[in-house]
Chains A and B, each alone.
Chain A
Amino acid sequence: MSEALDVRSLHVRRGPREVLRGVTFRVARGRLVALMGLSGSGKSTLLRAVAALEPFDAGEIRVGDVRLTPGVRRVPGPDPLRREVGMVFQFHHLFEHLTALDNVCLAPRHVRHRTPDEARAQALALLTQLGVGHRASARPRDLSGGEAQRVAIARALAMEPSLLLLDEPTASLDPARRRALGESLAELAASGRALLVTSHDDDFVRDFASEVLILADGEIVEAGAPRAVLDTPRHAATRALLAAQDR
């Protein structure tokens, strides 16, 4: 029951190309697992498969008590999976026509059927907790990259998922904000959630992840404690990844 995510020999094929070739890993509650790999290694595909945005071809994904089966496209709408998994996209995808507050309230109101007042109070609390309470009435286009990201995290957390997926959350942040984000995410993990985060940033992973997975050519080539893996890389792909970071 402590496993929030259990992925077993996951295969994803896109046309002739095998994007994921038998990926197996787990994320336990309370852990922040970082997923690293060069562009095209399959990180985003993995997150999208776990969020059931894209079907997979073989293997098994378990999110909490929900089991995803290969080749099945889940129907949009009320679904136990949606209570278990939240996602923060790299480009946030905040609803452009709604204020920050309404972005956070939308799903609790219409999917969880909270009253407007309940949803609003919860959303304001989340935005405040993440440091963007003062931006509640702003539209997405008027938010900075860091603010938009926090609103997107609040929107995902408002559905109280046990597993939170974040795609490249550090990509557009300066070092100070990266640190603040890391601390927020570590806090979320400490409060009992499972986090799976893709990142290119090895310093961020060293400082905040409880575990790192190195993905190369659709396979996990190395896994373990961040400092152990990143300070003494054994696999060529890991070395290539770190070399790419240094440039």
Chain B
Amino acid sequence: MTRRLPRGSSSLWRRVAGGRVGLRVVAAVAGVLAAVRADAQPLPLKWAGDSEGGAPYVEADPRDPARVTGLDVEIAELIAGELGRRAQFVQVAFTSLDQSAARGDFDLALDGIEDTPARRASLAVTVPYYEFREVLTVRAADAARFRSLADLRGRRVATLGGTTAYELLLTAEREHGVAAVSYDDDVHPYEDLLNGRVDAVLLDNVIAERSMRRMPGLATQPDAVAIGHYVGILGPAQTQLRDRIDGILRAAMTDGRLEAILRRWLVWNDDQPRLYARIVQAAVPAPPTAAAPRASGWAMARQYFPWLLAAAAMTLVLSCLSMALAVCLGAAIAIGRVYGSHLVRGLLTAYVEIVRGTPILLQLFVIYYGLASVVRLPAFVAALIGLGLNYAAYESEIYRGALLAVPRGQLDAARVLGLSAWQTLRLVRAPQALRFALAPTTNDFVAMLKDSSLVSVLTVMELTKQTQIFATNLGSWVLPGALCAALYLAMSLPLAHLARRLEARWKAPEAA
């Protein structure tokens, strides 16, 4: 059994051992360590998946949430057993599996991961262990009229972001005029299909069948839009381990152990024996061609740049509108808390504390998904309201502080002159408070530009989400990350500059 040394330890060893000083000491210590290691248990096989994705891949065991079950869990255990190692599960968000594998956070990821050209280029990829079909699911009532993507012109079609299905939808956007909607998970697309936010979902048949079992009223079209395969992924340097795993998978295909696992999870079908026959004969099927052949980073950057710009525009528009809502509402809350009756003050204080004390992500989910049975807000509106309501709480604290910072003497002077409370607020207190509030408000606007990336969970395609998709396709974060950062800076730096100018103007009125 080979022992897996932590990454980088061999180069460290060379550096230390190469030095002349203490060479013997180092050698002696290494000898002791080697002896200790020889007695130790083999390192566990750390394998990753996302239990939020759920059955049949990886899900938290309903009887023991500390454990996971699923077909990928059983395959991981099968592989670990053959390697003579213990399978140790590592929870990693589905969208981060590629990056995490490249970083070397685990040995292997198995979670219904699709075989794509980008993955083959940037990671070590196992032979496919399952063949799936990309299928179109619609509401049962629409089954006769929405048979293919071509029937869905002008309609919203949902899928999981960063997948081959999403690429297929982007192609269909150009060819058939459908509107692609990207989700961060594979459950909400079907919920939104049922409640009418989208008109079809394109995803793996495994997921489609699972959703049809859970939600009555859906129908899946029999014809596959495309064919895909699930593979395991490893860090790009782990080709040796990958080759051993390929051998184990081929053996399990031949002796029926893989079939047994897939049958247990009700996903076995006639496509698999055909796939296995090809794999066992060492023919690895080509990854789906839906995604364009991998171009160079710069070529892809050129291709993606207009999309990033559009996403940046979405970020800017959403942030501006949300901030406008937050400023108006925040000012109203602040005024209510300074001037209101006990009851009004109590209610507003409760609002501020609840909003500040709970995560904005939870608030967005409640507004978009939680309220869907009462009011079905479009994603953009839900995002706008969610961000606006959240920021209003923070803005109100700034404005309340600013109102209280206006000196008492100013209010006395207004009072002696006979100004009413409202006139005093409007003509004296608020204009002076504005100057105290300007810098922190601008600060919050810059924060809003970045926090708006959270609304991608509501399928709003803003800058960070688009960058994520770009990075997934490219198999690297370097170029997309740099472009994304440049776009955010292009939006936030002028704002900071504007704030400084406004402040300067109000501080030196002679210049005005």
Contacts and interface: CB of A to CB of B under 8 A. Distances in A.
A159 interface: yes
Contacts of A83: 418
Contacts of A91: 409
Nearest to B421: A76
A28 to B, nearest CB: 22
A111 interface: yes
Contact of B432 (A85, A96, A159): A96
B410 A82 contact: no
How extensive is the interface on chain A, given as a class?
20 to 34
A111 B417 contact: yes
Interface string B406-429: 010110111111111101100110
Given A110-B427, A139-B510, A97 B417 contact: no
A77 B416 contact: no
Contacts of B423: 77, 110-111
Contacts of B410: 93, 95-96
B264 interface: no
A117 to B, nearest CB: 19
Contacts of B414: 76, 95
Nearest to A165: B416
B257 interface: no
A137 B147 CA distance: 74
Interface string A154-180: 011001000000000000000000000
A82 B509 contact: no
B409 A107 contact: no
Given A106-B427, A142-B510, A93 B417 contact: no
A159 B510 contact: no
Nearest to B406: A96
Interface in A18-59: 51, 53
Contact of A89 (B412, B419, B435, B510): B412
B196 interface: no
Given A97-B431, A139-B510, A82 B409 contact: no
B413 A93 contact: yes
B435 A106 contact: no
Nearest to B434: A97
Contacts of B407: 93
Interface string B130-151: 0000000000000000000000
A179 B417 CA distance: 27
Size band of the interface chain B makes with A: 20 to 34
B417 A82 contact: yes
Contacts, number: 72
B420 A78 contact: yes
Contact of A110 (B419, B431, B435, B509): B419
A95 B413 contact: yes
A107 B419 contact: yes
Interface in A68-84: 76-79, 82-83
A75 to B, nearest CB: 8
A106 B509 CA distance: 18
A141 B419 CA distance: 23
A238 B310 CA distance: 80
Specify the main secondary structure of chain A where it touches its partner.
Answer: loop
B134 to A, nearest CB: 63
A83 B416 CA distance: 10
Nearest to B426: A110
Contacts of B420: 76-78
Contacts of B435: 97
A82 B435 CA distance: 29
Interface in A88-142: 89, 91, 93-97, 106-107, 110-111, 138-139, 141-142
A91 B415 CA distance: 16
Contacts of B416: 51, 53, 82, 85-87, 156
A199 B202 CA distance: 86
Given A93-B409, A97-B432, A107 B418 contact: yes
Residue with the highest number of chain B CB atoms closer than 10 Å, among A77, A85, A89 = A77
Nearest to B415: A76
A79 B427 contact: no
Contacts of A141: 509
Nearest to A77: B420
A89 B409 CA distance: 8
Contact of A76 (B419, B431, B510): B419
Given A97-B435, A106-B427, A110-B427, A53 B412 contact: yes
A149 to B, nearest CB: 13
Please indicate which of the listed interface residues B409, B413, B416 has the most CB atoms of chain A within 10 Å of its own CB.
Answer: B416
Interface string B471-512: 000000000000000000000000000000000000001100
A3 to B, nearest CB: 21
A247 B222 CA distance: 105
A155 B413 CA distance: 10
Nearest to B409: A93
A40 to B, nearest CB: 19
A94 B410 CA distance: 7
A47 to B, nearest CB: 10
Interface in B429-459: 431-432, 435
B509 A139 contact: yes
Nearest to B430: A97
A95 B427 CA distance: 10
Contact of A77 (B413, B418, B428): B418
Interface of B: 407, 409-410, 412-421, 423-424, 427-428, 431-432, 435, 509-510
Q: List 6 A-B pairs, minimum CB-CB distance, nearest first.
A: A82-B418, A77-B420, A107-B417, A93-B409, A93-B413, A111-B418
Given A89-B413, A111-B417, A155-B413, 16 more contacts: A51-B416, A53-B412, A53-B415, A53-B416, A76-B415, A76-B421, A77-B420, A78-B420, A82-B417, A89-B409, A89-B412, A95-B413, A96-B432, A111-B418, A111-B419, A156-B416
22 contacts: A53-B415, A53-B416, A76-B415, A77-B420, A77-B421, A78-B420, A83-B418, A85-B416, A93-B407, A93-B409, A93-B412, A93-B413, A95-B410, A95-B413, A95-B428, A95-B432, A97-B432, A106-B419, A107-B417, A139-B510, A142-B509, A142-B510
Interface of A: 51, 53, 76-79, 82-83, 85-87, 89, 91, 93-97, 106-107, 110-111, 138-139, 141-142, 155-156, 159
